[in-house]
Structure 1
Amino acid sequence: MVLKLHKNLDQTSWSRYPACKRIIMIVNELQRASNCIEHNDLAAFRECYERAFELIDLEISNRRNHSALREMFRLREIMGETYLSDAPNIETNRMFLSAVLSFDVTAYNMLS
């Protein structure tokens, strides 16, 4: 997988990070997206989502748990609908953020 926005990451380097750090990296992009929504910066919001999509794709390729994979694919699909929206909703983005945190208890405990 060749990444456009995270040129220093590949599947091997991604898998070396602990799961909690990988999840927090995705959450960081979604938090940045929330800030962009608050400032009505649609272009920057979409850039945050593009970076989050790359990280989610890396995480999907790293997961072995089929139920978690299914949930991550579904999350990505719904995020895609929000990405295409001309008026993204901050509450929806916060729900995505919470959903991503639910994939790792350690990350959840660190940020909650």
Structure 2
Amino acid sequence: MEFLKNFNIAFAKGDIAFIVDSITDEIIWKIIGDRNIEGKEKFIQEMEKMQSEKSTELKIDQILSHGKEGAANGIIKMESGKKYAFSDFYVFQAAKGTKIKSITSYVIEIQ
């Protein structure tokens, strides 16, 4: 659970180095209702695009982890004032691993 906390903090801060070290080369990121990103290079490109808007606050409500799966949800606030509720589901390369092989994200803009 500590790993997922750190991963979410790195994501909010735009710490691409930490994130790159935390994913497999074959990462699949499904952003429900938007797009699928497959492979480490495309994942990095997407992270770099997201650098244009910085987050100002991250509130993690829950983190769960069991075996090869984990989940986190919360709210992230951006510099623009927009707020998003998110729920991410993770599949790890191995139990007790620190390499993520897939992420399924649900993101909703909130007031």
TM-score of the two chains, using structure 1 as the length reference: 0.32
- The structure with more strand, counted as a fraction of residues: 2
Q: Which has the higher contact order (CA 8 A, sep 6+)?
A: 1
- The structure with more helix, counted as a fraction of residues: 1
